[in-house]
């Protein structure tokens, strides 16, 4: 079992989608629907049936722009403010305009959204600005419903293939990808006219406080290959210094879901049982307040439901324990914790990259195009900020529809065969050693260093030390890592991505010499926000000499203007008057 | 550096009396996003081979015979 | 070396034999494999497994049919719905609820009159999302059912169809002996903007059960029933704070200026959720008379209350 076999196959397709979690299935489906004659391949490291962040469903849409409850313009404004102005609005607006149609389509697929007794979407108001929360209390079958659609559309699904590198051609255009079977170590070379990446967040970057490598907030299969592959293919990555850090249930390390509890009257409280969060939107600012409360004498922080009716608290409990992270219930049960009786201790997550929750992603425009021709990205790994699940679906759809048209106009890009041979050699190198360091130890070390040095508040000297330590680990990874079977080979490739992401996190953070996005990019040496010099994107990419480098890129002029007092209102933690 | 084997308690338990892997079922192995379950060549039943679990539960939810129980990994319990 | 890198699309016929294997577990695996084909041709075969002697195989078939849609799927599932084994029946009911194709409703309708209340509930739940007008007659009859769960499911069907002629029946259900039935009826009748609907919602404010009162209060505001204003105001001291929250919110949505002093009194409540809702409602009403009250609470200890107070004041300016 799991022994490494030699083997290499090659296939061709019009559109290759890498990552079959949330954005990926939608991209593949939309591409195939638009051109049923085209060959669309969906490549997935795990199994599309239950892969990705939404493996067991989600308890709600956080950012549904539904007519009658909010408008695309209003949403665009709020995201712009919540992301401290660093937003190319075209992509956000396009999402907001398209997402309602996607909700209706998902509904037809059999994905269950909460409806009132008259069958209308039961949208919940969370704060004054707009109303964006649509619960999905029975949403645990999301992936099954998606899988069913993919099979009906006869999309070619390659499960248990892990992509390791993209292939680009001589002109710089995308030519395909190399993948490895996680159960046999066999290689698959996919020649493709276009490639859509949807490999999720870089969720295995920081180490959870439990020390358990796989006890991450994100699905740990999302180990950052998307970011690493984009980087090595020459694509630009945006605002990686805007880390993802989420509130969660301590030790369990899964979401506490104040979003679910909010409409019922639950909230995040300090040890006194009182609210302390001023900020209206899930953002770095909010996490900053969370962090400060944790550190202060008022901490720790709790999810509070014990002031509610027992029935209400139990109803929330029931939702939280059946969808999304259903083992939450088991965790509390073992400790004898009941939501109706005690407040639930919360904490903050390890760091990661994720545009779904923050803004760190491969740079894309409003058509999901990266800076590499023919290469697209959607979902948590693409740079459209605060996008969450519905953003992954919607932008996946946009990517699929654009890519299939692009594929119709181009031929396969020629590439250098030695690139494939070199990649095979890189992947297999650890299998050729008799002894050395196993991937799990290298991974533990990298992620421990990430916690020690990269976790905000960000200190320049600590970041420089981190870079030196990462370089040492890289030596070990390249020269001493040893792998005994194909499963471990997958972990070895993952740790290489994790290390690449750690380096990117350090490099991007050091470049932006200001503080922004609250806790996400809080630099103690540059504590102030500096709009004069830094109201811009930071794009990281591989330089001509092979080194890692950053550049500034101007934010596109706003399509939905925001007046000064609206911005002001947000920073002073007050609500705008015109909501 | 030479390698050692260190033991570890894994969170997922399979009731071998219920498991029908020997009749061709591979559901839990198929759906696991971390690919940590296998069918034992010895017993013909499913088991957790690698201690790399996200305690996400598709294995338990999709098992046709109710043979799988997901516990919380000890380190974070 | 080459290998097949894609998930196979197995031919349904190739799996048919396995359905007759002597070993029930093998048959069970065959049912799962048939479901994975996603091929409509598999429906009849899976359906045949609903007559298997093994309850386990029948259970698997009932679950597997949840992957398919259409009339034929429904025809099979109704076999499962009347299965003697409650697990099979429950799984069939769940799969019925997954159907999306309106044509699937026809084979289900007759079961709404079945002798077993679980079958009646399951059938009603199955036709709800399909929104077929013909379902009304069946559902209205089911409102008379002895079994409260059947009545709740029937209300679900009727509520989704939003037909004005069902209003008298819905209003009658708002007086049902069971609280859950009353609550569902109160939620379902709020599609109608008529005075009769409003009166029923107003009556709900005096219900013995807090969740019925809560729903009534919420619906009066959500549906902007102007005649709800006075009764809501009269109910503002409800014994239950979660009900008071909804009353205050609805008074805000209805912009009831006369309610300002009473809502303002809630600004001093010990429950912060209620203080916050009161401030928000005063902002909605935006009447100058609220200013002195609000000004007293700009520095409330709770940030959400504070923000809503400031927001409300900015609306009055
Ligand atoms: C615990 C949790 C709770 C959340 N709650 C909510 C919520 O309530 N509401 C909401 O709107 N959003 C929520 N989100 C966010 C939302 O789930 C994500 O934004 C969204 O699902 C991301 O979709 P994606 O396609 O980018 O990534 P995913 O769905 O994670 O898919 C990525 C896929 O790529 C695959 N993959 C990774 N690497 C490779 C590789 N090298 N080769 C091949 N395949 C690969 C993975 O196996 C995975 O299937 C939550 C997220 C988490 C983690
Ligand atoms: S899913 Fe259940 S029956 Fe099937 S192999 Fe796994 S444990 Fe055994
Ligand atoms: S709980 Fe999740 S990660 Fe763990 S074995 Fe089951 S499916 Fe795999």
Q: Which domains does chain B have, with CATH numbers?
A: 12-72 (3.30.70.20)
Same-domain pairing of A545 and A478: yes
CB pair distance less than 8 Å for B38 and A1? yes
CB pair distance less than 8 Å for C28 and B20? yes
The pLDDT score that the predictor gives to residue A575 is 40
Closest CA in chain B for residue C64: B64
CB A324 within 8 A of CB A59: yes
Rounded (5°) CA angle A89-A90-A94: 115
Count of H helices and E strands in chain C? 19, 0
CB pair distance less than 8 Å for B23 and C28? yes
The answer to whether residue A27 is domain-embedded is yes
Q: What's the gap in Å between A22 CA and the centre of ligand 1? A: 6
Q: How far is CA C303 from the centre of its chain?
A: 33
Task: Please count the structural domains in chain A.
Answer: 3
Of the candidates A237, A227, A235, the one whose C-alpha atom is nearest the C-alpha of residue A163 is A227
Give C105-146 as a DSSP string.
GTTTGGGGG-SSHHHHHHHHHHHHTTT-TTHHHHHHHHTT-S
- C-alpha torsion sign, points A496, A499, A501, A507: negative
The pLDDT score that the predictor gives to residue A570 is 59
Place of tokens 């290998």: C3
**A304, A326, A348 - which closes a domain:** A348
Q: How many CA atoms lie within 13 A of A184 on its CB side?
A: 15
Pick from C3, C156, C210: CB nearest A7: C3
For ligand 2, atom 3, the nearest C-alpha belongs to B19
**B58 ligand 3 Cβ < 6 A:** yes
Is pLDDT larger for residue A576 or for residue C260?
Answer: C260
CB C176 within 8 A of CB C204: no
Phi-psi region of B24 (alpha: psi -120 to 50; beta: other; left: phi over 0): left
The answer to whether residue A144 is domain-embedded is yes
The answer to whether residue A372 is domain-embedded is yes
Same-domain pairing of A50 and A121: yes
- C-alpha torsion sign, points A256, A257, A262, A264: negative
Same-domain pairing of A221 and A358: yes
The pLDDT score that the predictor gives to residue A128 is 60
CB pair distance less than 8 Å for B55 and A327? yes
Give A515-536 as a DSSP string.
-BTGGGB-BTTS-S--HHHHSE
For residue A168, report the phi and psi dihedrals to the nearest 5 degrees: -115, 155
Q: How many CA atoms lie within 13 A of C158 on its CB side?
A: 32
B66 in contact with chain A, both atoms CB, cutoff 8 A: no
Closest CA in chain A for residue C37: A151
**How close is the nearest chain C Cα to the Cα of B49, in Å?**
23
Chain C interface, Cβ < 8 Å to B: 23, 25-26, 28-29, 32, 56, 60, 63
Of the candidates A197, A159, A200, the one whose C-alpha atom is nearest the C-alpha of residue A48 is A159
| B24, two tokens | 């061709």
CATH code where residue A486 lies: 1.20.58.100
Same-domain pairing of A444 and A411: no
| A481, two tokens | 């890592």
Q: What's the gap in Å between B30 CA and the centre of ligand 2? A: 10
User: How far apart (Å, rounded) are the C-alpha atoms in residues C136 and B15?
Assistant: 47
Burial classification of residue A12, based on how many CB atoms lie within 10 Å of its CB (0-12 exposed, 13-18 middle, 19 or more buried): middle
User: How far apart (Å, rounded) are the C-alpha atoms in residues A284 and A516?
Assistant: 8
The pLDDT score that the predictor gives to residue A260 is 83
- DSSP letter at A111 equals P
Going from the C-alpha of C222 to that of each of A82, A528, B77, C253, the distances in angstroms are 29, 44, 43, 7
Closest CA in chain C for residue B24: C29
Closest CA in chain A for residue C273: A265
**A363, A395, A417 - which closes a domain:** A417
| A99, two tokens | 């997402």
The pLDDT score that the predictor gives to residue A259 is 79
The answer to whether residue A571 is domain-embedded is no
Place of tokens 């809702």: C277
User: How far apart (Å, rounded) are the C-alpha atoms in residues A278 and C300?
Assistant: 12
A118 in contact with chain C, both atoms CB, cutoff 8 A: yes
The answer to whether residue C80 is domain-embedded is no
Same-domain pairing of A490 and A549: yes
User: Which of B18, B25, B61, B62 to mutate to test binding with chain C, by most C CBs within 10 Å of its CB?
Assistant: B25
CB pair distance less than 8 Å for C303 and A117? no
Same-domain pairing of A342 and A356: no
Of the candidates C85, C90, C30, the one whose C-alpha atom is nearest the C-alpha of residue C66 is C90
Ligand 1-lining residues (CB < 6 angstroms) = A 18-24, 43-46, 51-54, 58-62, 162-163, 198-200, 217-219, 221-222, 225, 254-255, 324-325, 356, 379-381, 388-390, 392; B 33
- B/e letters for C234-271, b = 16+ CB within 10 Å, e = fewer, are ebbebeebbbbbbbbbbbbbbebeebbebbbebbebee
Same-domain pairing of A110 and A227: yes
| Chain C contact set for A574 (CB, 8 A) | 307, 310-311
Q: Are strands A174-181 and A161-168 parallel, antiparallel or unpaired?
A: antiparallel
Interface confidence (ipTM) of the complex: 0.97
**B53 ligand 3 Cβ < 6 A:** yes
End-to-end CA distance of chain A: 60
A335 in contact with chain C, both atoms CB, cutoff 8 A: no
Same-domain pairing of A313 and A363: no
The answer to whether residue A121 is domain-embedded is yes
Place of tokens 């911005």: A567
CB A433 within 8 A of CB A480: yes
The answer to whether residue C269 is domain-embedded is yes
The answer to whether residue C84 is domain-embedded is no
CB pair distance less than 8 Å for A220 and B34? yes
Given a cut of 80, whether residue C4 has pLDDT beyond it is no
The answer to whether residue A572 is domain-embedded is no
| A324, two tokens | 């999304």
The answer to whether residue C285 is domain-embedded is yes
CB pair distance less than 8 Å for B24 and C60? no
Each residue's pLDDT tens digit, C21-70:
999 999 999 999 999 999 999 999 999 999 999 999 999 999 999 999 99
* Ranges under pLDDT 50 in chain A: 573-579
Same-domain pairing of A189 and A268: no
The Cβ of residue A266 has, within 10 Å, a number of other Cβ atoms equal to 26
The answer to whether residue A574 is domain-embedded is no
Same-domain pairing of A198 and A266: no
**How close is the nearest chain B Cα to the Cα of A60, in Å?**
17
User: How far apart (Å, rounded) are the C-alpha atoms in residues A201 and A207?
Assistant: 15
CATH code where residue C273 lies: 1.25.10.10
| Chain C contact set for B25 (CB, 8 A) | 25, 28-29, 32
Each residue's pLDDT tens digit, C6-33:
998 889 999 999 999 999 999 999 999 9
CB pair distance less than 8 Å for B62 and A50? yes
The pLDDT score that the predictor gives to residue A409 is 96
Please give the interface size between A and B, counted as residue pairs whose CB atoms are below 8 Å apart.
98
Give A351-369 as a DSSP string.
PBB-TTTSS-EE---TT-B
Task: Please count the structural domains in chain C.
Answer: 1
The pLDDT score that the predictor gives to residue A577 is 32
Ligand 2-lining residues (CB < 6 angstroms) = B 14, 19-21, 25-28, 46, 63-65, 67-68
Query: C-alpha dihedral over A27, A32, A35, A38, to 10 degrees?
Result: 110
The pLDDT score that the predictor gives to residue A278 is 86
Pick from A220, A251, A436: CB nearest B76: A251
Q: How far is CA C107 from the centre of its chain?
A: 23
The pLDDT score that the predictor gives to residue A225 is 98
The answer to whether residue C275 is domain-embedded is yes
The answer to whether residue C38 is domain-embedded is no
| Chain B contact set for A56 (CB, 8 A) | 56-58, 61
- Structural domain including A463 reads 422-554
The answer to whether residue C2 is domain-embedded is no
- Contacts with A550 (C-beta within 8 Å, 6 or more apart), sequence order: A507, A508, A511, A538, A539, A540, A541
The answer to whether residue A564 is domain-embedded is no
The answer to whether residue C152 is domain-embedded is no
Of the candidates A412, A476, A426, A427, the one whose C-alpha atom is nearest the C-alpha of residue A449 is A476
- Structural domain including C311 reads 255-317
**A417, A436, A456 - which closes a domain:** A417
Q: How many CA atoms lie within 13 A of A188 on its CB side?
A: 28
CB pair distance less than 8 Å for A215 and B38? no
Same-domain pairing of A73 and A204: yes
């Amino acid at each position: 079992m799991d022994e490494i076999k030699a083997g290499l196959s090659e296939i061709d397709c019009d559109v290759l989608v890498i990552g079959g979690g949330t954005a990926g299935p939608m991209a593949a489906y939309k591409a195939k629907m638009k051109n049923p004659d085209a060959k669309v391949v969906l490549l997935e490291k795990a199994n599309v049936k239950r892969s990705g962040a939404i493996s067991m469903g989600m308890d709600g849409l956080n950012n549904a722009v539904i007519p009658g409850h909010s408008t695309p313009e209003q949403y665009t404004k709020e995201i712009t403010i919540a992301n401290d102005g660093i937003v190319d609005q075209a992509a956000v607006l396009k999402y907001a305009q398209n997402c309602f149609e996607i909700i209706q389509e998902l509904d037809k697929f059999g994905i269950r959204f909460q409806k009132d007794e008259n069958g209308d979407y039961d949208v919940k108001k969370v704060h004054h600005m707009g109303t964006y929360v649509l619960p999905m209390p029975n949403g645990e079958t999301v992936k099954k419903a998606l899988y069913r659609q993919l099979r009906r559309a006869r999309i070619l699904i390659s499960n248990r293939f892990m992509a390791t590198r993209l292939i680009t051609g001589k002109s710089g255009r995308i030519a395909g990808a190399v993948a490895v079977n996680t159960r046999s170590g066999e290689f698959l070379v996919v020649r493709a006219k276009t490639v859509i990446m949807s490999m999720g967040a870089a969720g295995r970057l920081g180490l959870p406080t439990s020390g358990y490598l796989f006890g991450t907030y994100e699905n740990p299969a999302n180990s950052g290959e998307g970011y690493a592959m984009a980087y090595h293919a020459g694509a630009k990555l945006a605002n990686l210094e805007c880390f993802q850090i989420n509130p969660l249930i301590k030790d369990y390390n899964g979401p506490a879901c104040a979003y679910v509890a909010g409409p019922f009257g639950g909230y995040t409280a300090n040890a006194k049982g009182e609210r302390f969060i001023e900020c209206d939107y899930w953002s770095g600012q909010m996490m900053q307040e969370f962090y400060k409360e944790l550190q202060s004498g008022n901490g720790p922080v709790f999810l509070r439901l014990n002031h509610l009716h027992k029935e209400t608290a139990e109803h929330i409990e029931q939702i939280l324990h059946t969808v999304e992270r259903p083992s939450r219930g088991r965790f509390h049960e073992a400790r004898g914790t009941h939501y109706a009786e005690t407040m639930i201790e919360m904490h903050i997550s390890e760091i990661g990259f994720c545009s779904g929750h923050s803004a760190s992603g491969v740079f894309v425009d409003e058509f999901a195009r990266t800076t590499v021709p023919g290469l697209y990205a959607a979902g948590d790994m693409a740079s459209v900020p605060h996008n969450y699940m519905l953003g992954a679906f919607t932008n996946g759809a946009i990517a699929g529809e654009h890519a299939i048209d692009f594929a119709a106009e181009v031929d396969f890009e020629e590439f250098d065969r030695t690139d494939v041979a070199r990649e095979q050699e890189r992947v297999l190198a650890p299998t050729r050693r008799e002894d050395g360091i196993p991937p799990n130890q290298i991974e533990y070390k990298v992620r421990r260093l990430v916690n020690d040095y990269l976790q905000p508040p960000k200190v320049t000297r600590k970041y420089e030390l981190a870079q030196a330590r990462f370089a040492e680990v890289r030596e070990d990874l390249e020269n001493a890592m040893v792998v005994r079977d194909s499963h471990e080979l997958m972990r070895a490739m993952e740790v290489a991505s994790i290390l690449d992401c750690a380096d990117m996190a350090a490099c991007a953070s050091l470049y932006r010499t200001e503080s922004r996005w609250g806790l996400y990019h809080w630099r103690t040496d540059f504590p102030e926000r500096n709009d004069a010099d830094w109201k811009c994107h930071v794009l990281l990419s591989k330089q001509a000499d092979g080194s890692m480098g950053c550049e500034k890129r101007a934010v596109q002029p706003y399509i939905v203007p925001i007046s000064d007092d609206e911005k002001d209102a947000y920073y002073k933690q007050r609500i705008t008057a015109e909501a | 550096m030479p390698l050692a084997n260190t033991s570890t308690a894994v969170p997922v338990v399979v009731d071998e009396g219920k498991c029908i892997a020997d009749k061709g079922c591979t559901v839990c192995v198929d759906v696991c996003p971390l690919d940590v379950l296998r069918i034992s060549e010895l017993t013909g039943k499913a088991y957790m081979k690698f201690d790399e679990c996200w305690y996400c539960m598709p294995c338990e939810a999709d098992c046709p015979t109710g043979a799988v129980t997901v516990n919380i990994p000890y380190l974070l319990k | 070396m080459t290998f097949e890198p894609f998930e196979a699309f197995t031919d349904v016929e190739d799996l048919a034999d396995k359905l007759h294997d002597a070993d029930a577990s093998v048959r069970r695996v065959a049912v799962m494999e048939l479901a994975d084909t996603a091929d409509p041709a598999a429906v009849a075969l899976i359906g045949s497994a609903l007559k298997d002697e093994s309850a386990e195989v029948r259970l698997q078939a009932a679950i597997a049919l949840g992957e398919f849609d259409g009339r034929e799927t429904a025809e099979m599932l109704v076999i499962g719905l009347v299965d003697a084994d409650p697990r099979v029946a429950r799984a069939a009911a769940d799969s019925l609820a997954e159907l999306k194709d309106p044509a699937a409703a026809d084979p289900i309708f007759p079961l709404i009159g079945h002798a077993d209340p679980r079958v009646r509930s399951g059938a009603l739940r199955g036709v709800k999302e399909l929104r077929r007008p013909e379902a009304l007659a069946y559902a209205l009859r089911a409102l008379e059912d002895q079994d409260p769960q059947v009545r709740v499911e029937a209300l679900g069907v009727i509520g989704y169809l939003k037909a004005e002629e069902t209003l008298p029946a819905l209003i009658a259900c708002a007086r049902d002996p069971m609280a859950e039935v009353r609550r569902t009826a109160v939620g379902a009748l709020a599609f109608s903007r008529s005075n009769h609907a409003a009166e029923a919602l107003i009556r709900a404010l005096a219900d013995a059960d807090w969740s019925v009162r809560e729903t009534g209060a919420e619906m009066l505001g959500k549906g902007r029933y102007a005649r709800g204003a006075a009764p809501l105001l009269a109910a503002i001291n409800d014994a239950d704070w979660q009900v008071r929250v909804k009353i205050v919110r609805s008074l805000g949505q209805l912009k009831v200026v006369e309610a300002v002093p009473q809502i303002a009194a809630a600004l001093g409540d010990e429950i912060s959720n209620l203080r916050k809702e009161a401030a928000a409602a005063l902002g909605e009403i935006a009447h100058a008379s609220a200013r002195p009250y609000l000004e007293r609470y700009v520095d409330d200890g709770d940030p959400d209350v504070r923000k809503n107070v400031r927001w409300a004041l900015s609306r009055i300016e």
